[in-house]
Structure 1
Amino acid sequence: MKLVVAFHGTRDPRGAVVCEEIAASVQSSVDVPVEVAYADVRQPDVRSVVDGPCVVVPAFLAAGYHVRVDIPEQIGNRQGVVLTSPLGVDAVPAVRDRLREAGFRRGDAVVLAAAGSSDARALADVGRAARMLGAAAVGYVATATPRVADVVAEVRRRPGVVGRRVAVASWLLAPGVFHSSLDECGADVVSAPIGAHPLVVEALLRKYYAARAGLVRSA
């Protein structure tokens, strides 16, 4: 059964490259076709890729509008299509690894930097990720507040943090304008975007196989 990895979509070509890299890494681990689809901005959209029985795995870090409304609407009433939960907090281990790669040290105060959303449920997902990561606070680069730079400055002033380094963990999947804005946030360490991390690929594959197993049990 085909695996469709659904991404948000971006106008930044670097983001599209990461999407293709993730899909290619997934493809190397399965013997079924793997295709990329986008919920917005880029083509092909989910509607055009879901052309038969398949499992759609949203590579989204929170369950906002696109995951809850847009992708299901694009799938419509097609038979044999299973939509899994989004990547979400399953990406936390990869983010933790990116932090270490960036030079995180034990004792650093961590701020999780997310894109933001107007959906309170998506923001709740981000908060859950922050707690799992042990972050001191969450900042946003778009759509929600407080902004990352303001949070970094506030965390530095907290009792017990003064004199310690502040590390920003990027809760962003790919490079682009959002991640570039973190260069000026005032943190001592900023991790790279999550990208095609092996732990992300493993998480997407787990969701695919769980969906297939569910189909088998219900047949």
Structure 2
Amino acid sequence: MGASAAAPAPGPGGAGTAPTLLLAVHGTRDPRGTAAARALARAVARRTGAPVRLGFADVLAPDVGEAAAAVDGPLVVVPAFLAAGYHVRVDIPGQLARVGRAGAPLTPALGGDDRLITAAARRLRQSGRRPGDAVVLAAAGSSDPAARAEVAEAAARLAAHLDTPVAAAYVATARPSVPEAVARLRAEGAARVAVAAWLLAPGLFHQRLSDAGADTVAAPLCPDPAVVDIVAARYHAGVHTAV
């Protein structure tokens, strides 16, 4: 299956061609995660009317540089990541530089947008979370302290939205792990614990949450319309920056 998600579309005012939106995702060997990334690319193409290509920061091909090299003309790179960890700060810029596209606008990661907090709360309700349940925000994990700080900040924003404390925890790499956070909340007296998935797509990481000991586990954020909205907004801001 090719990386292109949409044919070129007319640019603003019908003149020329809109810059290509290069959607940079992590990459996974789980076909459900790849299918979710392709579905997101198609939805963003419909929303923006722009040509959209998919590039992988890791695991799969084409990588972001290879996808960028296949684009004739301007492009805007939108990293579909929830925090600006190593892949966003180092891998993606490096892959773009390798093919001579270092000057392409690279937008911020998605996690700082409050629409994702609303989406995470919506997913929690859909999973069966009840008022009064303790909440864990489960992120993928990173060795980058700045990325972990972004997760902690997201947990604080979700806590404000729900008006209840939210503990940040990680599926891999960082501590506390999600099972540790769930166990701590139970030790502190929580009768029920709900896990909000700070993950974009299904796959191994989300599957691990079912073994964390929580009463409910929310679905990943995709395909919530908020993700499409944010990617489209990042793209339009990137086009404005390029102009």
- Partner in structure 2 of residue 6 of structure 1: 24
Distance in structure 2 (CA, Å) of the matches to 1:60 and 1:24: 17
- Partner in structure 1 of residue 15 of structure 2: none
Once the two structures are TM-superposed, the CA of residue 140 in structure 1 deviates from its matched residue by 1.2
Picking from 74, 88, 94, the partner of 1:53 is 74
SS of residue matched to 1:105: coil
Unaligned 5+ runs, structure 2:
1-18, 160-164
Asked whether the equivalents of residues 64 and 121 of structure 1 are also in contact (C-alpha less than 8 Å), the reply is yes
Aligned residues: 213
Asked whether the equivalents of residues 118 and 143 of structure 1 are also in contact (C-alpha less than 8 Å), the reply is yes
Once the two structures are TM-superposed, the CA of residue 157 in structure 1 deviates from its matched residue by 2.3
Are 1:200 and 2:227 an aligned pair?
yes
Using structure 1 for the length normalisation, give the TM-score: 0.93
Distance in structure 2 (CA, Å) of the matches to 1:26 and 1:183: 30
- Partner in structure 1 of residue 93 of structure 2: 72
Asked whether the equivalents of residues 140 and 148 of structure 1 are also in contact (C-alpha less than 8 Å), the reply is yes
- Partner in structure 2 of residue 86 of structure 1: 109
Distance in structure 2 (CA, Å) of the matches to 1:63 and 1:165: 32
Picking from 132, 146, 151, the partner of 2:176 is 146
Unaligned 5+ runs, structure 1:
none
SS of residue matched to 2:76: strand
Mean CA deviation greater in 69-78 or 115-124: 69-78
Using structure 2 for the length normalisation, give the TM-score: 0.84
- Partner in structure 1 of residue 201 of structure 2: 174
Residue identity in the other structure for 1:38: F
Q: How big is each residue's C-alpha offset from its partner over 1:136-166, in whole Å with a ceiling of 9 and x where there is no partner? A: 21121111111111110101222xxx25321
Once the two structures are TM-superposed, the CA of residue 81 in structure 1 deviates from its matched residue by 1.3
Percent identity reads 52
SS of residue matched to 2:210: helix
User: Structure 1 residues 80 and 150, CA, compared in 2 at 3 Å: closer, same or farther?
Assistant: closer
Picking from 1, 6, 17, the partner of 2:35 is 17
Distance in structure 2 (CA, Å) of the matches to 1:89 and 1:95: 13
RMSD: 1.4
Q: Could you list the runs of 4 or more consecutive aligned residues of structure 1 that deviate by over 3 angstroms after TM superposition?
A: none
Picking from 200, 218, 232, the partner of 1:191 is 218
Distance in structure 1 (CA, Å) of the matches to 2:130 and 2:75: 43
- Partner in structure 2 of residue 99 of structure 1: 124
User: Structure 1 residues 12 and 79, CA, compared in 2 at 3 Å: closer, same or farther?
Assistant: closer
Distance in structure 2 (CA, Å) of the matches to 1:32 and 1:180: 33
